[in-house]
Amino acid sequence: MPELRGITWDHPRGVAPLTASAASYAERTGVTVRWDRRSLKDFGDAPLNRLARDYDLLIVDHPHMGMAHEASCLLPLDHLLDPNVLTALAGESAGASHDSYFYRDHQWALANDAAMQTSVCRPDLWTRDFPASWEDVPPAAQALRRNGLWLGIPLVPTDAACTFFSLCAALDAPVAAGQRLTDPRAGLHALELLKQICALAYPDSLTWNPIRLLDHMSHQDDVAYCPATFCYTNYSRDGYAPHRLRFHDIPGVKGSVLGGAGIAVSAFSACAAEAAVYAAWIASGPVQRTLYVEAGGQPGNRTAWESDLANAITHGFFRDVRATLDHAWVRSRSPAWPAFQEALGNIIHACLRDDSGTQACLAQLEHLFDETLASQLQEN
């Protein structure tokens, strides 16, 4: 029987449920699956075409589907799987997770993991109602400071970009929805809100990604609340960290950037049929709502989000943020998107770090969009 090699991202949420599944799958089928890992930054930024030459299975980010299509490094799963299997998985998708891997008339990955930006708090430190809107966030940060506590938020370039996207979508002006970056007034308002929140946030926020924020919140006693970070079910479970965290809907609920991960099959795999069958198995409801979530995963299958078991072991994580998932915003799959997002994040991060003007920042972002993304969106 074949041995499949897979590459995932280096966090218990990304590794543990896949490695835990390998033994069960080998017992059932005789097929061995061995998983390697790469950093979270490489997961979000590194191209797939080089990895695809070394692995049968790849855990991927949906904004990379256009690049993968151009590089011909993944196989369309609709050529490998029974249409009924894909129809069932589409019907069980957690939010738009399944559809986010559909590009140019083909399904390039299956949603084994679902995530989006949510709020999070330390229940023992946060005694207020969650902000109902983004406008309520700065007053909440000020109230925390009066009590010797902080708001925190991950604002490394990637997360600064994603929070800007969430803010624009919440303002009914999603980025790249047409032939311009966003509505200029909404874009300026989003940058001003982001700058205001950054000025009130814990001083290390500009160096934090979601994992560093959540590690700090769950180990230290000074950051009580975050309005927007990609959610991690691990921190809502007993015993994962010294202090359990509670995740909640993003302010205003709508517009949160969809994240998550999908499982794809390499175009260079000598065992593509076997790899596709495994991918469908790991994304299926029976696996996702039992073995997968029990091993620390954050399923991409809606039946797991609705499961009493999944919600019991995560203290209601899935129910508490389901509305945000259902109203999440899906980024473009254009081949130019990953480079655009990275450059946009660097511009916003510099504006927040150097305290430069939001109007000048918006002009830079609009120029970046016109130079890198507008023409490709027109072609797509």
Span 61-73, mean pLDDT? 95
Give the DSSP per-residue string, 192-257: HHHHHHHHHB-GGGGG--HHHHHHHHHH-SSEEEEEEEE--GGGGSTTSSSS--EEEPPTTSTTPB
- Specify the pLDDT at position 374: 85
Query: Could you tell me which residues come within 8 angstroms of residue 22 by beta carbon, excluding any fewer than 6 positions away?
Result: 32, 33, 34, 35
Note whether 3-115+259-319 and 117-257+334-379 share their fold.
yes
Domain ranges across the chain: 3-115+259-319, 117-257+334-379
In sign, the C-alpha dihedral spanning 31, 289, 296, 42 is: positive
pLDDT tens profile 243-254: 999 999 999 999
Q: What is the Cα–Cα distance from 333 to 65, expressed in whole angstroms?
A: 6
- Tell me the backbone φ, ψ of residue 111, rounded to 5 degrees: -80, 100
Residue with tokens 């997002």: 341
Residue 336 has pLDDT above 80, yes or no: yes
CATH class name, domain 117-257+334-379: alpha beta
Residue 326 has pLDDT above 90, yes or no: yes
CB 120 within 8 A of CB 324: no
Residue with tokens 């490998």: 80
- Specify the pLDDT at position 44: 56
pLDDT tens profile 126-169: 988 999 999 999 999 999 999 999 999 999 999 999 999 999 99
Residue 377 has pLDDT above 80, yes or no: no
- Specify the pLDDT at position 378: 57
- Give the strands of the sheet with 223-230, arranged side by side: 150-151, 223-230, 117-121, 246-248
- Specify the pLDDT at position 376: 73
CB 365 within 8 A of CB 347: yes
Q: What is the CA radius of gyration of the chain?
A: 20
pLDDT tens profile 97-113: 999 999 999 999 999 99
Q: Which two tokens mark 307?
A: 């499961």
- Indicate the fold that domain 3-115+259-319 takes in CATH: D-Maltodextrin-Binding Protein; domain 2 (3.40.190)
pLDDT tens profile 183-223: 999 999 999 999 999 999 999 999 999 999 999 999 999 99
Residue 379 has pLDDT above 70, yes or no: no
